[in-house]
Amino acid sequence: MSTPTKVAIIGSGNIGTDLMIKVNRSEHLEMGAMVGIDPDSDGLARARALGVTVTHEGVEGLIALPGFDEIELVFDATSAKAHEANAARLEPFGKTMIDLTPAAIGPYVIPAVNLEEHLDARNVNMVTCGGQATIPVVAAVNRVLPVAYAEIVASIASRSAGPGTRANIDEFTETTSAAITAVGGAVRGKAIIILNPAEPPLIMRDTVLALVVSDGQPDVEGRVRASVEAMVADVAAYVPGYRLKQEVQVNPVPGDQPVETLLDDLSSPRPTHQVSVFLEVEGAADYLPAFAGNLDIMTSAGIQVAERFATRKAVAR
């Protein structure tokens, strides 16, 4: 068996701590350092208890650690603005960064859709929780029929939205919308996030609406449904709590439905069908509560990327 790849995690909050637990379960990854800015954070305390090297002096503290040179991958679980500074500071050292913020400095990566295309990138962006949940579905529809417009709504429990999530709401909508087109393949995309205050907290729910143009071939509904179901299975392979909430709906668009209000700047043919997909994401409850599927899908996707990078480097050695 090859030597595990050493990783560092910047951000000792909920996402960073959950990442650490998942790293410790991995055959391909090994914790090299946990980095925070609050010496009393639960994440740093748990890391110390596990024997992980820690620093509460941020990225400068990471660079100063004796084992810094051995670290190959760096997860950033801070905020979009913080990642910009962290990436700039670490760039001269040649580390590969896996960005779990909406900073979008590097290419968007959705493991089930385009991971293999970006294995040489030095900084990959994991989009957002809503993006990880819904963009695979947009891509699945688009590989059957052209998607003229895709709109996603991510509804998460308010209690699962920490300071970082709340500070990045604008970046969430912008980054997710951009990735719907760049990765999902839609001509236009729109993203909405809802912080649901219900108690007890509700599990993450996602809705995907796609307007597609028929290719004139039979069985539009069957082909779209089969593609979406196959993609859901691919995502569930690394996010076990990811599932369809109900059967995929494919309906003809009535000729008098005013879809032009959404597509008034498009020259493409008028959409012929509307695809509606309803998803649910339950967390693994490693560190975060099970209702926080929005956070778990990010850490699970991040681990998937890190393990693929690690196995590729092992082969190269």
Q: pTM (2 decimals)?
A: 0.94
Q: What is the pLDDT of residue 313?
A: 80
Q: What is the pLDDT of residue 268?
A: 62
Binding residues for NAD(+): 12-15, 160-168, 294
With a cut of 70, list the residues of the chain below it in pLDDT: 1, 255-268, 316-317
Contact between 218 and 241 under an 8 Å Cβ cutoff? The reply is no
Q: What is the pLDDT of residue 258?
A: 57
Domains of the chain in start order, with CATH, are 5-126+296-316 (3.40.50.720), 129-289 (3.30.360.10)
Residue type (1 letter), 111: P
- Tell me the pLDDT tens digit for each residue of 208-247: 999 999 999 999 999 999 999 999 999 999 999 999 999 9
Q: What is the pLDDT of residue 2?
A: 78
CA 266 vs CA 253, 271, 308, 317: distances in Å: 17, 11, 38, 49
Q: What is the pLDDT of residue 163?
A: 80
Contact between 296 and 22 under an 8 Å Cβ cutoff? The reply is no
Contact between 134 and 208 under an 8 Å Cβ cutoff? The reply is yes
HEC-encoded secondary structure of 202-257: CCEEEEEEEEECCCCCCCHHHHHHHHHHHHHHHHHCCCCCEEECCCCEEEECCCCC
Residue 10 designated active-site: no
Q: What is the pLDDT of residue 164?
A: 75
Q: What is the pLDDT of residue 262?
A: 53
Q: Where are the beta strands (DSSP E) in the chain?
A: 5-10, 29-35, 54-55, 73-76, 96-99, 123-125, 147-157, 188-196, 204-212, 242-244, 249-252, 273-281
Contact between 188 and 181 under an 8 Å Cβ cutoff? The reply is yes
- Considering 33, 105, 113, 129, which one is annotated as catalytic? 129
